[in-house]
Structure 1
């Protein structure tokens, strides 16, 4: 059994988890394309996604942290069949159903959705996220983080936390408390700023969250694809090294990284 993540670009990844394949936050438009962020705001894409690694025929479902143009863009909507199961926020579910995506499931915070295949079960639990500071958060789309758990014969083989576009917030302390040990984390960074407001974690908040979660492996994504992103990846990597964080690993577009399966589980079921 294997588990891996392939980085496509921005927050778009392909998760191959045992018998299951998930697609996260698909944005397939090329460099130069523009995405709408609401309230008259647009942003230009600066980097091409690694589309040569995307095979939508293999995808079982899509995880959508929130409905923003840089997470489900026009090109992705054109390519993805409306019958593909989508897990997202209840707010995004209502909007997507009006666009005739009929296999969409909105998950309130701490609710979960499961698939079972042979001896394996994949569970996705919606966890807290906050896209903006103070009252500004009410003007932005609801956002969810996801904890994805792969079980084999009823035992957890992998627990992966995908932060979504959240700021560091006290509510995130509940993630390890309620979900247990996190084996790996896909952390959305970039220090996105609009009208001077910070809307996604910068290097300081990202390192603070990594200290809180303490995953075995931290993979930074969502950091330099669009012009609104102001916090370079190098700042996060430097701050993480200065604070002796271990397990932080950058991943290039198109590359695949193995995720750490729990040996005590895999060894007993192999």
Structure 2
């Protein structure tokens, strides 16, 4: 079995690899590959998780809500059919720029998808329903078994991935949020906390990629004896604005550290009732606010310029962070590039 990083690099033709901004390298055992928009591949111990799959091409259009369409401006790094085998999908919300029709039509109906209660309701209600959806509300968790020939080889403890739903709001609070709740135009969204680590549990005999729902809300542990010693923690913001609910995340973390943050940017702007313009994802200023709130060791911006409704791209983010204490804690990935990191034992 070839290492997963070799498989990915073969598919995307050996794009550049990045490591920690301090230059530390040589013992990395996991990676994030940026495909485009909010689509990434997380790889560790033979497990591959795909986030927010969107594989439309430049020039394609999609529907984002009543009277709202968007045109894709950039191609993804790979096409859907070129992906290596996957174990699970992490879907922040059921929106066409995060789960397009091609993806929906192509997936096995029993494929493991971790998403919101709203997304599960939508996917389970299809004429051919999706049966492998695990829905996580805020602060609820699921544990993914990491299997395969070499997973945990020579280790007393087995690799685990714990995923916890984090707060997010795609629509600014106030009257517009009330209207959106009535119309259902913009779906509810989650952020995610992903904890990679090792533990001992009954999940050892489960198939690789199978997700078991847990309770919450304590970081770094599971329930029912499924203890997790976290070796690396990734926070994915999802399509949220910088809202007060995000301030509960550091409280939930207590003194635990975020190693890597994937922040959804773009200042996505759509028309609302009576045609006012509404920003529904963070711009550069809010992205900096989130960095100050979460204080991650490393930040990677994603979801910033793939669609024409994204009015505040990567330059806007750079203008806000350059000259701050976070300037040297950011890794910028082009489509197809990887960030390599070390999960501690």
TM (normalized to structure 1)? Answer: 0.92
Check the 8 A contact 1:12/1:26 in 2, yes or no: yes
Match of 2:337 among 250, 255, 267: 255
Identify which range, 241-250 or 22-31, moves more after superposition.
241-250
Separation of aligned partners in 2, 1:78 and 1:143:
22
Q: Pairwise mapping of residues 94-173 of structure 1 onto structure 2 (< 5 A)? A: 94-99=121-126, 100-117=129-146, 118=152, 119-134=158-173, 135-138=175-178, 139=180, 140-153=186-199, 154-173=228-247
Counterpart CA distance in 2 for 1:259 and 1:41 is 39
- 1:55 is displaced (CA, Å) by 5.0
Give the whole-Å Cα distance in 1 for the aligned partners of 2:263 and 2:82: 23
**Quick check: 2:55–2:80 contact (8 Å CA) kept in 1?**
no
Question: Mean Cα displacement is larger for which, 73-82 or 245-254?
Answer: 73-82
Structure 1 pair 62–103 and aligned structure 2 pair: CA distance change class (3 A): same
Q: Residue in 2 aligned with 1:236? A: 317
Residue 24 (structure 1) aligns with: 51
Q: Is the 8 A contact 1:115 1:121 kept in 2?
A: yes
Label 1:157 to 1:53 Cα distance change in 2 as closer, same or farther (>3 A): farther
Distance 1:226 1:57 in 2: 25
| Conserved 8 A contact 1:53-1:254 | no
Provide the residue aligned with 1:198 in structure 2. Answer: 279
- Runs of 4+ in structure 1 over 6 Å off: none
1:210-249 maps to which residues of 2 (within 5 A)?
210-245=291-326, 246-249=328-331
TM-superposed CA distance for 1:84, in Å, is 1.2
Number of the residue aligned with 1:3? 30
Alignment of 1:80-91 (within 5 A): 80-91=107-118
Could you tell me how far apart the structure 1 residues matched to 2:231 and 2:278 are? 39
Do the aligned partners of 1:130 and 1:137 also contact (CA within 8 Å) in 2? no
Give secondary structure in 2 for the equivalent of 1:191: strand
Structure 1 residue 258: Cα displacement: 1.0
* Structure 1: distance between partners of 2:321 and 2:107: 36
Q: CA deviation at 1:98?
A: 1.2
Preserved contact between residue 109 and residue 126 of structure 1 (Cα < 8 Å): yes
**Structure 2: where are the runs of 5+ without partners?**
1-27, 147-151, 153-157, 181-185, 200-227, 272-276
How many residue pairs match? The answer is: 263
Q: Distance in 2 between the 1:168 and 1:177 partners? A: 16
Inter-partner Cα distance in structure 1 for 2:316 and 2:68: 26
CA distance in 2, matches of 1:112, 1:78: 27
SS of the counterpart of 1:23?
A: strand
TM-score normalised to the size of structure 2?
0.73
User: Given the superposition, is the C-alpha separation of residues 7 and 91 from structure 1 closer, same or farther in structure 2, using an over 3 Å criterion?
Assistant: same
CA deviations 1:119-175 (Å, max 9, x no partner) are 111100001000011233352201000000011244211100010000001111222
Stretch of structure 1 that moved more, 244-253 or 215-224: 244-253
